[in-house]
Amino acid sequence: MPKLMVHLSLCILIVPAFCMAGDFATIAASANKRVGGYHVETFNAQDALHDVAQREAVVIGVDAVLPEKREPIIFDFPGGTVADLLNMFVVQSPGYEWREDRGVIHVTRSHVSLTDVVISYPGAKNVKLRLMWEDLVRRPEVSSWLKTNSCRGETFVHPKDFKLHRGLVSIPAGSVTVSHFLDEVAIQSGGNYWSVLQRFSPKTHACYVSVAAW
């Protein structure tokens, strides 16, 4: 099935203040969760983190400026906590670091400031995951950031990426950062994963940003 490519060309206003839309849920701490040992082998860091989120049922958000060359991630985890697993991951992936925020694991590499942008959200009630994602990438604040930073939106989506069994999402109207918006979508939908990835083309020197939530 052909991929759907969504391109957004845009302009930025980053609001330095941070205010969340309503009371966002704090989920149970994830870093201390015990997990069994297993072999990790993926084409890149993002795939490895997505696998951890799905396998261990922990919510992970990835915010990374991608290296020009992405190396495969291969290691054997002997078992322990999610923190132990993530620490092994960062050893294999130089430049990455992680922290836990309200039960969500945030993994960064050269922080993408788009995640700090505050959007004025009109609110949503019992909305499907794909529609939440589409709404976010079309927000004027996101468009503004892309234009100001001379970046293009670049998102490739398969319909299968939006699983039919995902939960519906409700977010109250108000101001919220892109990062916390995506946290809430990942928690409520049960997708457990989101990413905001920035890359630079070595040929054209153009900047591209993709936003994923599934």
Of 196, 200, 201, which is closest to residue 49 (Cα–Cα)? 196
Q: For residue range 114-170, what is the model confidence (pLDDT) as tens digits?
A: 999 999 999 999 999 889 988 999 999 999 999 999 999 986 555 555 565 678 999
Domain definitions of the chain by residue range: 4-213
β-strands 80-81, 151-153 pairing: unpaired
Question: May I ask the CATH architecture of the domain 4-213?
Answer: 3-Layer(bab) Sandwich (3.55)
Does residue 57 surpass a pLDDT of 90?
A: yes
pLDDT at 167: 87
Ranges of H-type helices in 1-124: 45-56, 82-92
Q: Phi first, then psi: what are they for 10, rounded to 5°?
A: -145, -155
Total-model pTM: 0.84
Residues 122 and 160: their CA atoms lie apart, in Å, by: 28
